Amino acid sequence: MQPTPVPLDQVDLADLDVFEGNRAWGMFDTLRREAPVHWNEEHDGGSGFWSITRYDDIQAVDKDPESFTSMKFTNLEEPPEEFQDTRRSILETDGPRHQALRKLLMRDFSAAQLRRYEDFLRGLAKATVDNALQQEEFDFVDSIAADYPMAVLVRLLDTPPEKTPQLISWGNEIVGFSDPEYARVLVNSEEAKAYRHLPFSSPVSQEIYDYGRQLRAERLGGTADDLVSKLVNRIPEDGIPLSDQDFDNYFLLLVVAGNETTRQAMSHSMKALIDNPEQLTWFLEHPEKAQVAVEELIRWASPVYHFRRTATRDVELHGRQIKEGDKVVMWFASGNRDESKFADPYTLDLSRFPNDHITFGKGPHTCMGANLARLEIKILFETLLPRLESIEQAGEITRVRSNFVNGIKKFPVRVRAKQV
Ligand code: HEM
């Protein structure tokens, strides 16, 4: 459905109410049309940012780390200079070191490598669906979307299954850093100042570090093929071993990056299929096109609203003067609704092809877990949809209070399962 248009003078992408109320889309449309490079003040002491909302411009910024660096951090928060190195993960590293750190695990996330997890994923999806369908009404997020990606990660990291609830709540707290329901300490609060040395200014980061260090000590020198063992025992191609901080932040990123994002992709996809029942039928009638369908679901979902860069020099773009040091925000979600790139962008069309969406970014930092996310989502819907006689929304959806993650917190559904 086309969003309600928002006049330019009412656009404010720093206002979290807008995102909690799912009203950002109308703002993105206005910006793409009228102000593709738009200055947005911040209300919490932040220095303000430029919003980049057109697909081609987002791609150009993402692909130009020389002019738009990640080294000054990639969320809106501006960590103090003295803590930037301790908090730095690959997300906030540019250049050859970034490439070397990325290559450490990149091949483990390739489609070919992931194929060996397919049977495991099918079993897990079936168990998740069997469990959820024991009830006629349940919360889609809690019963299906939250546990499944985390259980996958638990397998990849080879951590004990009883640790799963802990990992989920860590992930929630970190990615929901601006939502009072999730975060013990809100990212820009007074209290958070005591945690400025930690990622997301969150005390939870220390707990994740501690757990990672314990695993590291256990697996150092071993030959097991879980991701932690690989991270601990492989030497980056530049010959510089991982420092303690490199390891801490890599581990933390693995724990949080794929959890909430994949969950949101599934929740948004389910909502879209309920709202477009003819598309749900299309999915079932075209099992051979599941991969194509999943790309459209991922475009539609856009679970990550934005990542941020910082200008390293003065740049003029669409007549606006971006100054060295300015924050520049790539609104990936807006790029996915750019009408110059996608015909009828507000129409869910599972047969859309090609579908060069920008959900995972488009540059040197392109999501490392994209193939894993695709596979998880495909297998979940291939498992769930044929089991359903019907599915409908059974109550209000509530959203994460965040302009970073496009998140659904509560999504009640009512189902009739097929008799098997
Ligand atoms: C639907 C689910 C997912 C979405 C929407 C998503 C989105 C993103 C985005 C937008 C970026 C930054 C891209 C850029 O700056 O150009 C990113 C980076 C990253 N993602 Fe994902 N992600 C998802 C799932 C995963 C999973 C499952 C994992 C791994 C378990 C993962 C691991 C990473 C890592 C390690 C990076 C940093 C890459 C780098 O800096 O070089 N993501 N992701």
pLDDT-based confidence at 164, cuts 50/70/90?
A: confident
Nearest residue to 366 via CA among 339, 401, 330: 330
Q: Is 17 helix (H, G, I), strand (E, B) or coil?
A: helix
Q: Whose CA is nearest to atom 16 of ligand 1?
A: 361
Dihedral pair phi/psi, residue 77, rounded to 5°: -60, 145
Crossing angle of the two packed helices 290-301 and 370-384, in degrees rounded to 10? 110
Regarding the beta carbon of 335 and ligand 1, being less than 6 Å apart is answered: no
Place of tokens 């941020």: 308
Q: In a mutational test of the pocket of ligand 1, which residue from 255, 302, 334, 367 has the highest number of ligand atoms less than 8 Å from its CB?
A: 367
Q: What is the largest CA-CA distance in the chain?
A: 64
Dihedral pair phi/psi, residue 38, rounded to 5°: -130, 130
Question: In the predicted model, what is the mean pLDDT of the chain?
Answer: 94
Q: Which atom of ligand 1 is nearest to the CA of 74?
A: 15
Burial (0-12, 13-18, 19+ Cβ within 10 Å), 47: exposed
Containing H/E element for 306?
Answer: strand 306-311
CA of 72 to the centre of ligand 1 (A): 18
Regarding the beta carbon of 91 and ligand 1, being less than 6 Å apart is answered: yes
Residue 106 inside a domain? The answer is yes
Measured CA to CA, the distance from residue 225 to residue 241 in angstroms comes to 19
| Each residue's pLDDT tens digit, 70-97 | 999 999 999 999 999 999 999 999 999 9
Place of tokens 């802990």: 166
Regarding the beta carbon of 228 and ligand 1, being less than 6 Å apart is answered: no
| % of residues, the chain, pLDDT over 70 | 98
Nearest residue to 57 via CA among 358, 364, 399, 391: 358
Which structural domain, as residue segments, surrounds residue 273? 8-417
Q: Whose CA is nearest to atom 29 of ligand 1?
A: 369
Nearest residue to 187 via CA among 57, 46, 292: 46
Q: Which atom of ligand 1 is nearest to the CA of 376?
A: 27
Regarding the beta carbon of 333 and ligand 1, being less than 6 Å apart is answered: no
Containing H/E element for 316?
Answer: strand 315-317
Measured CA to CA, the distance from residue 406 to residue 304 in angstroms comes to 6
Question: Please, are residues 18 and 24 in contact by the beta-carbon 8 Å criterion?
Answer: yes
Q: Whose CA is nearest to atom 32 of ligand 1?
A: 369
CA of 77 to the centre of ligand 1 (A): 18
| Each residue's pLDDT tens digit, 249-260 | 999 999 888 888
Q: Whose CA is nearest to atom 6 of ligand 1?
A: 360
CATH of the domain at 205: 1.10.630.10
At 173 the pLDDT is 80
pLDDT surpasses 80 at 16: yes
Regarding the beta carbon of 62 and ligand 1, being less than 6 Å apart is answered: yes
pLDDT surpasses 90 at 187: no
Q: Is 413 helix (H, G, I), strand (E, B) or coil?
A: strand
Residue 17 inside a domain? The answer is yes
Question: Which of the residue ranges 34-38, 169-173, 279-283, 313-317 would you say has the lowest mean pLDDT?
Answer: 169-173
Residue 193 inside a domain? The answer is yes
Number of domains in the chain: 1
CA of 305 to the centre of ligand 1 (A): 12
Alpha helices in 276-307 (DSSP H): 277-285, 290-301
Q: Whose CA is nearest to atom 1 of ligand 1?
A: 262
Q: Which atom of ligand 1 is nearest to the CA of 90?
A: 40
What pTM value is reported for the model? 0.96
Residue 337 inside a domain? The answer is yes
Cα torsion 185, 190, 195, 200: sign: positive
| Each residue's pLDDT tens digit, 196-244 | 888 878 888 999 999 999 999 999 999 999 999 999 999 999 999 999 9
69-96: b (≥16 Cβ within 10 Å) or e = bbbbbbbbbbbeeeeeeebbbbbbbbee
Residue 295 inside a domain? The answer is yes
pLDDT surpasses 80 at 20: yes
| Each residue's pLDDT tens digit, 119-137 | 999 999 999 999 999 999 9
Residue 391 inside a domain? The answer is yes
pLDDT surpasses 80 at 180: no
CA of 365 to the centre of ligand 1 (A): 8
The set of long-range contacts for 312-315, using a CB threshold of 8 Å and a minimum separation of 24, is: 312/66, 312/67, 312/68, 312/69, 313/67, 315/67
Q: Whose CA is nearest to atom 21 of ligand 1?
A: 367
pLDDT surpasses 80 at 105: yes
More confident residue, 15 or 45: 15
At 147 the pLDDT is 84
Measured CA to CA, the distance from residue 170 to residue 154 in angstroms comes to 13
Regarding the beta carbon of 265 and ligand 1, being less than 6 Å apart is answered: yes
Residue 3 inside a domain? The answer is no
Residue 259 inside a domain? The answer is yes
At 168 the pLDDT is 79
Q: Whose CA is nearest to atom 4 of ligand 1?
A: 261
CA of 296 to the centre of ligand 1 (A): 17
